[in-house]
Amino acid sequence: MGGMLVTGGAGFIGTNFVRLALAEGHDRVTVLDALTYAANRTSLDGLDPHRFRLVEGSVCDASVVDELVADHDVVVHFAAESHNDNSLRDPSPFVQTNLVGTYTLLEAVRKHGTRYHHISTDEVYGDLELDDPARFTESTPYNPSSPYSASKAGSDLLVRAWVRSFGVQATISNCSNNYGPYQHIEKFIPRQITNVLSGIRPKLYGAGANVRDWIHVTDHNRAVLRILEAGRVGETYLIGADGEKDNKSVIELVLTLMGQPADAYDHVNDRAGHDLRYAIDSSKLRTELGWAPTYRDFESGLAATIYWYRANEDWWRPIKAATEAKYAAAGQ
């Protein structure tokens, strides 16, 4: 008994979270991960087997979930289908994992009285106009656009209902776009880095005016640890680092940092229903919990991320051709 159960810990943010939590002195961390296409078991290589364990299984499997929840003090729920483009091709695993999986965990934490933290996204709020001075806050109405963001919005609402109706000890965080090491190469930044490293021209959806609010994955995870320490049960916290950038600028910066001409990329088909802009106001997290981002310079964080993909080609090379084939079939 005791310790932290981390779902989805073999994915991008979960892997970084497990590594940070162990480094910060958490002495028993168990990952429950279905090891889908998005996971990479090697991301968790080298962790102390006395303090860390990986269980292969689904958050939709009530008996595995019940047994593991019963044996831990805290659950941090990262597991999800996470990629918008995939949700447009086939929404079904999104409904299953993001909604049924969250429901399954909520029932287990309800039964065992376990503290639960729910990882969510700023996409639940829909999008903003480019020239809108407003940013998302904890009271912005939900207005999701894609099957992915709708399934995440639904999962957040389940958590809120389980808090109110059953007194579950839960907190929720909604974070903006993460970047950093161990991110699947289907996502925007690592796709372009590994394209350049493979001699493929980077691919920009549409005109690239869409804005994302970038945050380094370690800053996201430090905020989650802080919420576990001092967050108020029943509350939602928005996590963001004032990192708004349009996609065209990001692709040009990747190319420049990699020694290529800034315009050496292709425009490809736009995403259906493509959200225009996300922007987070993280005042609540900053004032109430004293969190602040440590990666304040996007360019140097991006340079370090490029370095990581250069140095870890074994990690991504085996899935590059299949990832690009999926995009090529969609004209992207």
CB-based contact 151:98 (threshold 8 Å):
yes
The answer to whether residue 178 forms part of the interface with ligand NAD (CB under 6 A) is yes
Out of ligand NAD, ligand DAU, none, which partner does residue 7 contact, by CB within 5 to 8 A per kind?
ligand NAD
Q: Which residue of this chain has its Cβ atom nearest to ligand DAU in the complex?
A: 121
Looking up tokens 């990666």 gives: 295
Q: How far is 177 from 269, CA to CA, in rounded Å?
A: 21
Write the CB contacts of 326 (distance below 8 Å, at least 6 apart in sequence).
186
| Lookup: tokens for 172 | 């929720």
What would the DSSP string read from start to end of 59-113? Answer: TT-HHHHHHHHHT-SEEEE--S---HHHHHH--HHHIIIIIIIHHHHHHHHHHHT
**Residues forming beta bridges with residue 175, ordered by sequence position:** 121, 239
Instruction: Give least dist CB 261 to ligand NAD, A.
Output: 28
Chain-centroid distance of CA 283 in Å reads 20
Closer to ligand NAD at the Cβ: 8 or 301? 8
Task: State the nearest-atom distance from the C-beta of 152 to ligand NAD, in Å.
Answer: 5
Stretch in the footprint of ligand NAD (CB under 6 A) among 26-34, 255-263, 272-280, 302-310: 26-34
Concerning whether 148 is annotated as a catalytic residue, the answer is yes
Q: Which of 40, 140, 155, 176 is the binder for ligand DAU (CB under 6 A)?
A: 176
In angstroms, give the least distance from the CB of 242 to ligand DAU.
Answer: 14
Please say if 122 is a catalytic residue.
yes
By a kind-dependent CB cut-off of 5 to 8 A, residue 6 interacts, out of ligand DAU, ligand NAD, none, with none
Strands 211-213 and 74-77: unpaired
Among 208, 217, 210, which Cα is nearest to 251's? 208
Of 62 and 264, CB closest to ligand NAD? 62
* Residues 90-109: x where in contact with ligand NAD by CB under 6 A, - otherwise, as a string: -------x---x--------
In whole angstroms, give the CA distance from residue 295 to residue 275. Answer: 25
Q: What is the DSSP letter of 43?
A: G
**Options 4, 119, 204, 254; binder of ligand DAU; rule CB under 6 A:** 204
* Six-digit token string for 274: 């493509």
Task: Note whether 83 binds ligand DAU by CB under 6 A.
Answer: yes
Q: Which of 33, 103, 116, 122 is catalytic?
A: 122
Any contact of residue 15 with ligand DAU (CB under 6 A)? no
Q: Which does 60 bind (CB under 5 to 8 A by kind): ligand DAU, ligand NAD, none?
A: ligand NAD
Rounded to whole angstroms, how far apart are CA atoms 332 and 323? 11
Residue 300: both structure tokens together: 């140097």
Nearer to ligand DAU, 114 or 247 (CB): 247
Structure tokens at 17: 């979270």
Instruction: Report DSSP letters for 160-174, one per residue.
Output: HHHHHHH---EEEEE
Which of 271, 284, 320, 326 touches ligand DAU by CB under 6 A? 271
Q: Is 152 in the site for ligand NAD (CB under 6 A)?
A: yes
Site for ligand NAD in 56-85 (CB under 6 A): 58-60, 78-82
The yes-or-no answer on residue 56 being catalytic is: no
In this complex, which beta carbon is closest to ligand DAU, that of residue 45 or of residue 131?
131
295 touches ligand NAD by CB under 6 A = no
Residues 277-316 within binding reach of ligand DAU (CB under 6 A): 278
Query: Do the bridges between strand 211-213 and strand 244-246 make them parallel or antiparallel, or are there none, so unpaired?
Result: antiparallel
3-state secondary structure of 176: coil
CA–CA separation, 232 and 108 (whole Å) = 21
187 binds ligand DAU (CB under 6 A): yes
- List residues binding ligand NAD (CB under 6 A): 7-8, 10-14, 32-36, 38-39, 58-60, 78-82, 97, 101, 119, 121, 152, 175, 177-178, 184
- List residues binding ligand DAU (CB under 6 A): 82-84, 121-123, 176-177, 187-188, 191, 203-205, 210, 212, 247, 271, 278
